[in-house]
Amino acid sequence: MMSTHENDAQALDAYSYAVTTAAERVGPAVVRIDIERDAQRVGPFNVPAFGSGLGSGFIFASDGQILTNAHVVSRARRIQVTLADGRKFDAGLVGSDPEVDVAVLRIGADHLPVAELGRAPLRVGQLVLAVGNPYGLNWTVTAGVVSALGRELDVPGSRKMTNLIQTDTSINPGNSGGPLVDSFGRVVGITTAMMPMAQGLGFSVPLDTVKATIAKVTRKRETKPEGVSMGVGGMRVKIDPTVQKNLNLAQQFGMELLEIRRDGPADRAELKRMDIILAAADEAVTEPRDLQRIVRRHRVGEKLAISFLRGGKQRKVTVVL
């Protein structure tokens, strides 16, 4: 029979294993973000002054797309991203939604390590980790639990933020924009705020809100000026290994639909949110840019064969562009 001490040691080892494994999985995709801000008029003589800032982010698409907080990059005249391997890149702002404090950046690099986004719903009491650069201390990991869901927070100088994840993970200046991950290293939110003078109170934007922002940005990029579009927004996701095995699929990734324009081509073809596109015109689709490339070769009114997953089953549909 095991002693209490032995049981405690085993529990600690299990906890440590979960934390270290999660940190190792997401760590390579976490980035440091340094900001040079636009001039502001300050002082009694109204003299222009430039500012700087520091935040965190993470790579969510291998072609250099990065998620962070909108407030981290607001008024930025230059955004510099430092990868976990030490490489530095100037980043462009692809799009942002200050209402929910989410922004998408892009750097000129490819084949980058990607943070996997979670799919299961969060539960109060669940183990979570925050990874970021508090006070410039690069790639710092803090662990805690989900304290509450659906929180509201009045942010000074901003609108009320809603539906936030409350955690007791340590969140400090510089953490903003970094990933909040579960024990498998899968992203469940973006750290966004701390409550001054409070201990054990941190807040993160939930993944559903983050996905909605990604969808808006990708749908805008997917639409050509001449109007050739499927009317969708989405993101790269990993296919469930069990589904992949059962269906004998060769590819590991697909494009999950997060937004479908009402009465657009995809909507008329009865595609739905959370469907995962596998192929278009018999070409593999593993992320939004694959679909964009295929759609752009077609004209308005042409038909496009789409293969997709829904409820663990593979289906096909024809979309009229």
Contact 244, 283 (CB under 8 A): no
Residue 208: active-site member: no
199 Cα distance to chain centroid = 26
Largest CA distance in the chain: 77
C-alpha distances in Å from residue 253, one per residue of 62, 72, 248: 12, 30, 13
Contact 134, 176 (CB under 8 A): no
Which token pair is 98?
């200050």
How far, in Å, CA of 310 to CA of 295, rounded?
21
Active site residue: 34, 56, 62, 71, which one?
71
How far, in Å, CA of 162 to CA of 143, rounded?
23
- Complete DSSP assignment for 156-224: TTSPEEEEEEEE-S---TT-TTPEEE-TTS-EEEEEEEE-TT-SS-EEEEEHHHHHHHHHHHHHHHHS-
Residue 5: active-site member: no
How far, in Å, CA of 9 to CA of 29, rounded?
31
Ramachandran region, residue 188 (left: φ > 0; alpha: ψ -120 to 50; beta: rest): alpha
CA dihedral 162, 165, 171, 172 (to 10 degrees): -10
Question: Coil, strand or helix: which one is 290?
Answer: helix
Active site residue: 34, 96, 97, 101, which one?
101
Active site residue: 62, 96, 147, 176, which one?
176
Burial of 255 (0-12, 13-18, 19+ CB in 10 A): buried
185 Cα distance to chain centroid = 13
Residue 3: active-site member: no
Which token pair is 268?
């008329």
Q: Which of 69, 71, 33, 70 is nearest to 54 (CA)?
A: 33
Residues labelled as active-site residues: 71, 101, 176
